[in-house]
Structure 1
């Protein structure tokens, strides 16, 4: 059963301007450890590609915070939510710490889609119960963690 839907559109130019003012501190505030590795690798090859990656992750985290109904309030935190890619390219959510515990305690699973063009990044997140029969009776077994994008 779907318990939340979130969407977000992010102006990549705004992310570029924030990056110009705050630099690495901005990326370190928004991206988790695995995302930071991908960001640095993409940015080293082509600056615009790295900034687009940062924009899609910013957008996806905003959409996720809307889908779970918390906004950017604890246990939701920028770095506690990572959007990584499986080997085939599919984006997946990887949650950490208190956010992961909160999410698992409710038996939730999330699905994310991201896209970007020159000026805009967009994302869509659907959160549903892992097993409708367990909706109010605690979490089922957690899904295995996706592999690192390295």
Structure 2
């Protein structure tokens, strides 16, 4: 009896190794549910970058853009796997009306993301939605 226990114990690692060699690698994790929202936020930052380049004296645009950059970093910190990718290129010129429209769309996207997010993410998304509502109040 004792001999069969030792034999089984000795064979277990060899059998486990066979399974490791024969199996396929695990599939990559699915993209995070916030991936699209993250991309929209990166695109919004690019909209601000273009508007700032066209109107360097618009200090409020710099302040709002920097807030969006902080939101992007906070999103990246909670996403699994962390997002990777290049920002979306902005159009050559972005009038202020387009910045306001982009901010309005981003606010609605943040509200939608907040409403569908699990509680541990809803707080951050709610804060982003509230900030975007404030941004609309200060934009010309």
**TM-score normalized by structure 1?**
0.29
Query: Greater relative contact order (Cα 8 A, min sep 6): structure 1 or 2?
Result: 1
Higher strand share goes to which structure? 1
**TM-score normalized by structure 2?**
0.30
Structure exhibiting the larger radius of gyration computed from Cα positions: 2
